Structure formats: structure tokens, C-alpha cells
Amino acid sequence: MNRTGEKRFYIQYGVAKTKYLVSYHDGIQKHKDGSDFFGIKIFKNKKKLKIFTDDLKNNGYIEE
């Protein structure tokens, strides 16, 4: 399913030495080739991860 233009995010666990990694797209930012640009945020504990993901959900982001 192509979700271009939607606010969305996904969580990855155990990437290299990172415990939790959140990739998120605001529905607007693009690379020069037109593909979506994802920002990233890294967390060491679940409490801060939950705060951040809840904030994204409250701002209209959809979890993939």
C-alpha cells in the first residue's frame, strides 16, 4: 500500500547498538528524487519511547 503524503511512523528494535529506533515522516518532506524523507529518533528506554510515540499519535501520525 502506497502511503505517500501521510503522517506515519514505525519502530525498529535492536538496530546495531540502538535499543529503540523510531522512523517518522511528516507527510511533506521529500528527497530530491521525490521519495519520502524519514526523520529518526533513538531511545534507550521504553518510557521515553512511549512518550514520543504517544505524542506522534496525538499529532495524527499512523503507526505502520
The predicted-structure confidence for 6-34, as pLDDT tens digits, reads as follows 899 999 999 999 999 999 999 899 999 98
Residue 35, Ramachandran bin (φ over 0: left; ψ between -120 and 50: alpha; else beta): beta
Beta bridge partners of 27: none
Q: What is the pLDDT of residue 6?
A: 87
Q: What is the pLDDT of residue 4?
A: 64
SS3 46: helix
Domain boundaries, the chain: 8-53
Which pTM was predicted? Answer: 0.84
Mean pLDDT of 34-46: 94
End-to-end CA distance of the chain: 11
Distances (CA, A) of 29 to 20, 36, 51: 23, 6, 23
Percent of the chain with pLDDT over 70: 92
